[in-house]
């Protein structure tokens, strides 16, 4: 029996389909349509691609994926005295320099984490030589992969241009996000659809207002009635005399009983700005990213940049790094090698210290030789 673990089943042999948010709930036709099209909230279709048009989503995805990619993923060999880098092992080259002919290790890791953040799962095919030794890691677009169980065995079906390829579990590097069933990760975008749709709609509203709307800075009132020529002359005179940065702050001189009424920011616009700020913070919560990491500095302080770096590393980066490490160690080393070899991120590259702390550290290092 073949069972689709999660997501839309594109294979006619599938006998069971599951909902994206709860694997225990059958996937209805309306839910399937929403999953394939991204749904529509606030008049905006929210998909992993469209969500990247929201600056906060882009920044969160960039921050997490780049942080993981910056840390070298090194292969170590256990020794009697501790450990040493296993530079001669084939996995070392795959993880540290070149996973495949088209990508650097940095690009591969960032691409895989990006897929996980947007779709809930990051996949890569493990290409092996005749001896079963990994020789390449090829990323697979997440929406083309569907985990299935065939007679109880987990496999991955990859759909490409109408063709189906089934890969064994051992031949797929799978980095899942938060999961209900422990196999298929949940999409942050699908769960944060309301927040992201509101951001997309507000961005479109702001752009439309700027391009088509009329919001003068103030109004000049004349006690009488001005003809068209008089209006044009007055407008041109004010623009030449008072408009532009060079004329900023000049006192406005009015004649013939005219008065100036400045336009204040309407209350609904002030609320609009406040809601936009709250949406940025909500998106940060969805991705578990501190607001200051995406340049949202409304409440940020620089009292202890080292502590902020450690918090970011421990609370956000470390869980993703551990997920990658465990999958790599399980899939890229055979059982005979696992006792001797393992891969681990070099996390020290992300720890930033302030000048005082760095000076004290260097002083201790030089003092001890």
Report the chain's mean pLDDT, rounded to a whole number. 79
Q: Which regions in the chain score pLDDT beneath 70?
A: 1-44, 202-218, 242-249, 262-277, 298-306, 352-358, 361, 369
The predicted structure's pLDDT at residue 245: 64
Distance CA 20, CA 298 (A): 35
The predicted structure's pLDDT at residue 103: 95
Task: For residue 76, count CB atoms less than 10 angstroms from its CB and return exposed for 0-12, middle for 13-18, buried for 19 or more.
Answer: middle
Q: pLDDT tens across 108-130, in order?
A: 999 999 999 999 999 999 999 99
Q: pLDDT tens across 1-32, in order?
A: 556 565 433 333 333 344 444 444 454 544 44
The predicted structure's pLDDT at residue 255: 74
Q: pLDDT tens across 308-334, in order?
A: 778 888 899 999 999 999 999 999 999
The predicted structure's pLDDT at residue 352: 64
Look at the block and give the residue holding tokens 């940095």.
106
Percent of the chain with pLDDT over 70: 71
> Which of 192, 190, 184, 191 has its CA nearest to residue 24?
184
The predicted structure's pLDDT at residue 98: 94
> Which of 269, 250, 266, 258 has its CA nearest to residue 219?
258
The predicted structure's pLDDT at residue 278: 76
**In sequence order, which residues have a C-beta less than 8 Å from that of residue 304 and are 6 or more positions away?**
354
């Amino acid at each position: 029996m073949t069972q689709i673990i999660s997501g839309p089943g594109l294979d006619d042999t599938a006998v069971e389909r599951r909902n994206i948010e709860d694997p225990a709930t059958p996937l209805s036709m309306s839910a399937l349509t929403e999953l394939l099209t991204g749904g529509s909230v606030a008049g905006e279709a929210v998909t992993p691609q469209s969500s990247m048009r929201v600056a906060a989503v882009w920044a969160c995805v960039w921050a997490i994926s780049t942080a993981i990619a910056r840390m070298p993923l090194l292969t170590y060999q256990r020794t009697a005295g501790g450990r040493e880098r296993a530079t001669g092992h084939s996995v070392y080259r795959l993880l540290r320099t070149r996973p495949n002919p088209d990508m650097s290790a940095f690009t591969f890791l960032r691409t895989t984490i990006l897929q996980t953040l947007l779709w809930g799962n990051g996949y890569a095919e493990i290409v092996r030589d005749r001896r079963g030794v990994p020789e390449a890691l090829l990323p697979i677009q997440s929406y083309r992969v569907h985990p299935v169980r065939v007679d109880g065995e987990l496999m991955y079906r990859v759909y490409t241009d109408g063709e189906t390829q089934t890969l064994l579990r051992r031949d797929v590097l799978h980095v899942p996000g938060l999961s209900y069933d422990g196999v298929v990760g949940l999409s942050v975008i699908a769960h944060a659809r309301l927040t992201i749709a509101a951001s997309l709609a507000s961005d479109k509203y702001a752009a439309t207002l700027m391009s088509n709307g009329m919001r003068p800075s103030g109004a000049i009132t004349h006690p009488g009635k001005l003809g068209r020529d008089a209006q044009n002359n007055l407008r041109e005179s004010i623009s030449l005399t008072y408009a532009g940065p060079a004329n900023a702050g000049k006192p406005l001189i009015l004649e013939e009983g005219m008065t100036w009424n400045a336009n204040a920011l309407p209350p609904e616009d002030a609320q609009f700005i406040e809601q936009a700020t709250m949406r940025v913070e909500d998106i940060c919560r969805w991705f578990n990213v501190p607001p200051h990491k995406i340049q949202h500095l409304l409440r940020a302080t620089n009292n202890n940049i080292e502590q902020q770096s450690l918090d970011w590393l421990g609370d956000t980066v470390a869980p993703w790094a551990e997920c990658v490490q465990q999958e790599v160690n399980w899939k890229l080393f055979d059982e005979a090698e696992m006792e001797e070899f393992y891969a681990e991120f070099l996390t020290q590259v992300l720890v930033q210290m302030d000048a005082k702390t760095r000076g004290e550290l260097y002083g201790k290092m030089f003092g001890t030789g």
